[in-house]
Amino acid sequence: MKNFKKYVLEYLLILIVILLTITGFWNIYFGVDSNPNLYHHLHVITNFIWLLLLLYQLTLIEKKKYLIHRKIGLSILFIGPLLVATIALLSVHSAYKGLTSGQGDFLIVQNVMVTIEIGFLIVLAFIFKKQRKLHGAFLLSTAIVFLGIALFFTLISFVPQFKIEGPETFYRFETAGVTGRYVCLFIGLLFFMKDRKNGWPLLLAGSFHSLNELIKKLLDEYNQIQPLTEVVGSLNQLMTFLGSFTVLLILLTLTANSKKETSG
């Protein structure tokens, strides 16, 4: 029980993200105009596999079952690239859909950057695998990135103050985005204050959505949102999936040679 209290914040984070992921995807599957497709199915499945893997690994750490934890952790060599590949695939599909509809893709920057950022965090987790606490912090930090996205869609789907009810309420997209960014920053800061030596990856991840918004504003200022959408939307979806999977798999494999592990 004492060891469980040590990881209460970590458990809460993962469970909250799982709950928000359910509510975030709710309208896509059960809403009035629900129309889920293969891209959504793949994204939902890989997201939940990843989050449940984080939860299971945390449980093993809490119970000090380090040998099983390391064995299960090897699955990240496959699940990590699969997760990033499905995010990349959905990003290309979203951009393509925006181009063909003529409405553009208002999430293009977030989609592209989140794909890169999740891959970046997973690679860093493997690079620092000898430092157990830092390794865990990098993996857990991916949950904060997902939290920002899930919270955004939950707010615009279920909270009256954030629901889009016509052109005059489009500003609520920005309000929901700002709320999500502040929440992510706060949670990242909370983990950093808990452990300043090993909690900084969560603060870094908590700042990603704010960074992405700055990049979006910069691209918008130079009229580069549409060109970016065109580039991403024109990518071959199968090659994007296979390419992103292969690149991350190679990077993770290159870091998986060392067997020695320390407590960090």
* φ, ψ (nearest 5 deg) of residue 262: -120, 170
What single-letter amino acid sits at 22?
I
Above 90 in pLDDT, residue 263?
no
Q: Which of 115, 119, 121 is nearest to 94 (CA)?
A: 115
Q: In whole numbers, what is the pLDDT of the chain averaged over residues?
A: 93
- Please report how the helices 132-158 and 208-221 are oriented relative to each other, as an axis angle in degrees rounded to 10: 60
Q: What is the pLDDT of residues 44-74, one digit of tens each?
A: 999 999 999 999 999 999 998 989 998 998 8
Could you tell me which of 93, 90, 108 has the C-alpha nearest to residue 219? 108
pLDDT, residue 5, reads 84
Nearest C-alpha neighbor of 30 from the set 42, 40, 16:
40
Q: Give pairs for 233-240: CB < 8 Å, separation 24+.
A: 233/92, 233/95, 233/96, 233/97, 233/98, 233/99, 233/105, 234/96, 234/99, 235/92, 237/89, 237/92, 237/93, 237/96, 240/85, 240/88, 240/89, 240/92
Whole-angstrom Cα Rg for the chain? 19
Q: Is the pLDDT reported for residue 261 higher than 50? A: no
Tell me which DSSP letter residue 255 carries: T
Flag whether pLDDT at 260 surpasses 80: no
Q: What is the pLDDT of residue 164?
A: 86
pLDDT of res. 257? 63
Q: Where are the domains of the chain?
A: 2-252
